[in-house]
A and B are shown apart, each in its own frame.
Chain A
Amino acid sequence: MRTKQVRSVAIAAAVAAGLVLVASACGGGGGGGGNTGTTSGTTPTGQRTFPVLKAVWGTTDYMDPGLSYRLESWQLFQDVYVGLVIKAHVSCQTSNCAKIIPGLATTTGTVTNGGTDYKFTLRKGLKYSNGEAVKASDFKNTIIRDFNLNSPGIGFFSNIVGVASCEANPTKCKDISGIITDDSKGTVEIKLQKPESDFEYVLSIPFTAVVPSSTPHKDTENPPPAASGPYYIASYNPSKSFVVKRNPNWKKHEIPGMPDGNPDEIKATMTDDQAQAAQLVASGQDDYDENILPTDQLAHYKSKFGPQIKFFTTPSTYYFFMNWRLAPFNNLKARQAVNYAVDRQQLVNLRGGLGVPTWNFLPPSYPQYKKITPTPYPYNLQKAKQLVKQSGTAGQTVTVYTISDVSVDLSTGEYLQGQLKKIGYNAKLKAIAGANYFTIVGNQSTKAQIGFTDWFEDYPYPSDWFNVLLNGDRITKVHNNNYGNVDVKAMNTQMAHLASLPPDQALAGATNAKWAVMDRDFMTKYAATVPYLNGILTSFFSTKMNVNCDIFDDSQDDVAQFCQK
């Protein structure tokens, strides 16, 4: 998923063990991340409820689980929308947060027929926040709804039997033959065309979180769709505020492993102004800042509120996409030139030091990561200029896209625009509000040439990076995640092969090595993108809050587990 100010965490030491557990337990593939936070918390054993959590939150794209692909929403969704399976709500520092556990289903599923058939049975007596009963057919309807919404998540379903017609015409999708449900028995059966090593993970992300069949097949935000988790979103005023309340139909410990939640209510104001957000928490008006701290005031906040701030390295890569379908970036030398022209260290500085320079696409916390050596594109402006000349693209007009309302992202775009000018392009800048940015650059009609983006894992396996972001077979007209329209047939085939390995091979050393080769080839042979840093994020709490309750499960703070001192 993408965000401008994510807090996310990878899963470090537990990676391999966790993935093997997942793979062996439920037939899913898995990968891992790494966590290198400087402070750590412990999970309280008992529930510590309190009336209201007042938070300040970044703006997001949608508040509909079928449409949103931003961590600002997903952070809430983890306690609101539940899938057949879920990721464990445990700290990545102390436990295996990559572990998949049963959600609405009683088990993590029965996998048969060589890894192509998944069968689940729903728990009995489940109800949504609106009082409707959770039915097996709701799952199928949820996936069809995703297609009808032209959701950015529909690419995850391309391996399901019978999706061809839906993929051809998503908004007219009526049925998917590979999903068979029985409401009376509460069973859901999913038939895949071929084994898929990460399918269990796919079933845990918000795009597959089950919503009632009565939910309109259109963007539903005020209020958002009814919830099956311990909380529901009572109201949402885009880019301004939201209120989350306890689901009146949630029974305590209804889903083992899912927290019942400590705050009775979460009231959040939304802003992308990092300084304002931090000030609201510093002054005690709010208790939690979801935004990253203002990068120029890190030292100030650290010295004044040290114990209330946490820093976390994340399974993320910040990168510039380059559109392979448009000049000048349909030219390999032009793409290589941009890679040479970007000084990664300076982009880390722009984030106040919250980042680690990278030339790989995969984050270092993955077992499939292998640092590309020697550094493929050391900063070299002269070489970049030569390459631009050799490519015959010098003087062409290039428009750099970036986010306008987050100062760091805006500066990053300005930096790239400046560097492109230095190497001989007539570079211009187009800054778009963060709430619309990814929707606009993900629309082919925008014809975005080059721009800022980032990626935080949906789940810890390389297919979530390469398949989603660089697979030419998954390019779409709208909500496209492959902004650069990267399309290398040989790599697409290799991706398909690696993603369809049986679970016992998915994490084998040889498989990991193949992912690492893909990472290297994409970056060195094709100069597919310009990865520049792995992000470090902050969590800032007021003095009222007990930071030891802060749980990073996979990619974000779990607000349900926050507690007061």
Chain B
Amino acid sequence: MATTGQEEFTLDTAAELAAEEGGTRIQGKSPWVIAGRRLRRNYVALTFLGVFVLVVICCLLAPVYASHVSGLGENDTNSGGIITVNGQRVHVISQGGTKIVNGQPQIVFGGIPIGPQWGAAGGQYILGADELGRDVTTRLLFGGRNSLFIGVTSAAICTILSVILALLAGYFGGIVDWIISRFFDLIWAFPVVLLGIALGTALSLNGFHHGPINISGGSLWIPIGVISFVFVPYIGRPLRGQVLALRNREFVEAATAQGAGPIRIMFTELLPNLASSVLVLFTLIIANAILTEVALSFLGAGVQLPNPSWGTMIEEGSAKLSTAPAISLFPGIAIAITVLAINVFGDGLRDALDPRAKIRIEHG
């Protein structure tokens, strides 16, 4: 029956009307579905997501590449090796030394690693060798695993910590909020890289040994821990602001009236409302974490040699920039592509989840 005039038009009446008119039933769309639809239409973001996934897959296949293509592991040196390039036998590292000519020593300069061979050496040294005859491609892939593992893991730990602190600060307020906010301020006061270097250098010397936690100085968990720690306020502060705004909303009051405790309210009422922001911040912080790892490793406070990471590779190659630029160049390109991909996808995700949001990771 159709209704007219004075009667209130509700969703129920709309559904009834639709049923009477034989039309399809109107179904509500969750914000996630709407976001997914928006994201699918953002081809640029999807393309860069594809690039990132490709980088991850390549890095995950590093052991396969090492065993089936290059024949050298990530840290396998081959400084005395000889390879065949276009049918000619070539030293991986040019041989130097001193010869006595007419009674006088003549120095033969050597030690220059072979450059990128692309396909000329049967798959070996595609991107060249470093000063110890290690395969740059193999180290690039294994280094990518380390850099991505550190970036993603530290971003995840950092996000979890930040969410917990933001919920506690925003929900309880008062002294709890004051303490957590000052903690955020304290870390915020230091430039990220400077704080990272200080912590990374101290911990990489002797590791972290407190109570049941025993981490050696060369462990990847040292840079992970450092990066997780230094980025906490960069996620925690914006989330705390959102929690402060949410805690006075009706649904929180309703949950309180129903007898829900603080833990339940924080994690079942507030957290779902933060989810889209958390997801976007997590994505964006991955790129920052990777860049920080690279910076720390370049400065010797991150991944410890001889283990590769994109940062340590750039640092090692910097000494041979004029004669073997490939050692530094390719990790640099890999970092640029990966970070660009994550950032573009992160922006797309933010636009999809909440086009009005102004979520940014800003730090000194």
Q: Which A residues form the contact surface with B (CB < 8 A)?
A: 36, 38, 274-275, 294-300, 302, 311, 313, 343, 345-346, 348-357, 379, 404, 407, 410-411, 414-415, 417-419, 421, 428-431, 536
Residues of B within 8 A of A299 (CB): 109
CA distance A417 to B305 in the complex (A): 10
Residue of A whose beta carbon sits closest to that of B320: A296
20 contacting pairs across A/B (C-beta < 8 A)? A36-B104, A275-B322, A296-B131, A302-B109, A313-B105, A348-B96, A350-B131, A351-B96, A352-B96, A352-B109, A353-B107, A355-B97, A356-B97, A407-B319, A410-B305, A411-B132, A414-B77, A414-B306, A418-B132, A429-B218
Please tell me if the beta carbons of A296 and B98 are within 8 angstroms of each other in the complex. no
Do A356 and B305 form a contact, CB below 8 Å, given A38-B107, A297-B323, A311-B107?
no
Q: B108 at the A/B interface (Cβ < 8 Å)?
A: yes
A37, chain B: closest CB distance, angstroms: 8
Please tell me if the beta carbons of B218 and A428 are within 8 angstroms of each other in the complex. yes
Beyond known contacts A297-B323, A430-B217: 12 more, CB 8 A cutoff: A38-B104, A313-B98, A346-B79, A346-B80, A350-B131, A352-B96, A352-B110, A355-B97, A411-B131, A411-B132, A418-B77, A429-B218
Residue of B whose beta carbon sits closest to that of A300: B322
CA distance A298 to B323 in the complex (A): 10
Residues of A within 8 A of B131 (CB): 296, 350, 411
A380, chain B: closest CB distance, angstroms: 12
Instruction: Produce 1/0 per residue, B187-218, CB < 8 A to A.
Output: 00000000000000000000000000000011
Instruction: Produce 1/0 per residue, B104-132, CB < 8 A to A.
Output: 11111111100000000000000000011
Please tell me if the beta carbons of B305 and A431 are within 8 angstroms of each other in the complex. yes
Q: B328 at the A/B interface (Cβ < 8 Å)?
A: no
B111 contacts which of A38, A296, A313, A536 (Cβ < 8 Å)?
Answer: A296
Q: B63 at the A/B interface (Cβ < 8 Å)?
A: no
Residue of B whose beta carbon sits closest to that of A405: B300
Residues of B within 8 A of A275 (CB): 319, 321-322
Please tell me if the beta carbons of B97 and A353 are within 8 angstroms of each other in the complex. yes
CA distance A351 to B111 in the complex (A): 7
Near A by CB (< 8 A), chain B positions 68-118 give: 75-77, 79-80, 93-98, 104-112
Please tell me if the beta carbons of B306 and A429 are within 8 angstroms of each other in the complex. yes
CA distance A457 to B316 in the complex (A): 31
Instruction: Produce 1/0 per residue, B294-331, CB < 8 A to A.
Output: 00000010001110000000001001111110000000
Please tell me if the beta carbons of A349 and B104 are within 8 angstroms of each other in the complex. no
CA distance A295 to B93 in the complex (A): 13
Residues of B within 8 A of A379 (CB): 80
Please tell me if the beta carbons of A353 and B96 are within 8 angstroms of each other in the complex. yes
Please tell me if the beta carbons of A348 and B97 are within 8 angstroms of each other in the complex. yes
CA distance A298 to B110 in the complex (A): 9
Residues of B within 8 A of A351 (CB): 96, 111
Do A349 and B93 form a contact, CB below 8 Å, given A275-B319, A431-B300?
yes
CA distance A407 to B113 in the complex (A): 15
Please tell me if the beta carbons of A429 and B305 are within 8 angstroms of each other in the complex. yes
B299, chain A: closest CB distance, angstroms: 11
Do A345 and B95 form a contact, CB below 8 Å, given A275-B319, A296-B323, A351-B111?
yes
What 10 A-B pairs have minimum CB-CB distances, sorted nearest first?
Answer: A353-B96, A407-B319, A418-B77, A346-B79, A353-B110, A349-B111, A296-B323, A298-B109, A352-B111, A299-B109
Near A by CB (< 8 A), chain B positions 264-306 give: 300, 304-306
Please tell me if the beta carbons of A353 and B104 are within 8 angstroms of each other in the complex. no
Please tell me if the beta carbons of B304 and A355 are within 8 angstroms of each other in the complex. no
Please tell me if the beta carbons of B79 and A36 are within 8 angstroms of each other in the complex. no
CA distance A404 to B93 in the complex (A): 22
Please tell me if the beta carbons of B319 and A415 are within 8 angstroms of each other in the complex. no
Please tell me if the beta carbons of A536 and B98 are within 8 angstroms of each other in the complex. yes
Please tell me if the beta carbons of B80 and A343 are within 8 angstroms of each other in the complex. yes
Please tell me if the beta carbons of A415 and B79 are within 8 angstroms of each other in the complex. yes
CA distance A348 to B218 in the complex (A): 28
Residues of A within 8 A of B323 (CB): 296-297
Residues of A within 8 A of B306 (CB): 414, 417-418, 429
A167, chain B: closest CB distance, angstroms: 32
CA distance A417 to B218 in the complex (A): 14
Please tell me if the beta carbons of A353 and B111 are within 8 angstroms of each other in the complex. yes
Residue of A whose beta carbon sits closest to that of B93: A349
B132 contacts which of A302, A345, A404, A415 (Cβ < 8 Å)?
Answer: A415
A297 contacts which of B79, B98, B322 (Cβ < 8 Å)?
Answer: B322
Do A350 and B79 form a contact, CB below 8 Å, given A38-B104, A410-B305, A431-B300?
yes
A404 contacts which of B79, B96, B112, B300 (Cβ < 8 Å)?
Answer: B300
B139, chain A: closest CB distance, angstroms: 12
Most chain A CB inside 10 Å of its own CB: which residue of B105, B111, B316, B322? B111
Residues of A within 8 A of B321 (CB): 275
Residue of A whose beta carbon sits closest to that of B81: A346
Please tell me if the beta carbons of B319 and A36 are within 8 angstroms of each other in the complex. no
CA distance A27 to B307 in the complex (A): 55
Residues of B within 8 A of A343 (CB): 79-80
Residues of B within 8 A of A38 (CB): 104-107
Residues of B within 8 A of A354 (CB): 96, 107
Most chain B CB inside 10 Å of its own CB: which residue of A313, A355, A356, A418? A418
Residues of B within 8 A of A419 (CB): 77
CA distance A562 to B112 in the complex (A): 33
Please tell me if the beta carbons of A350 and B111 are within 8 angstroms of each other in the complex. yes
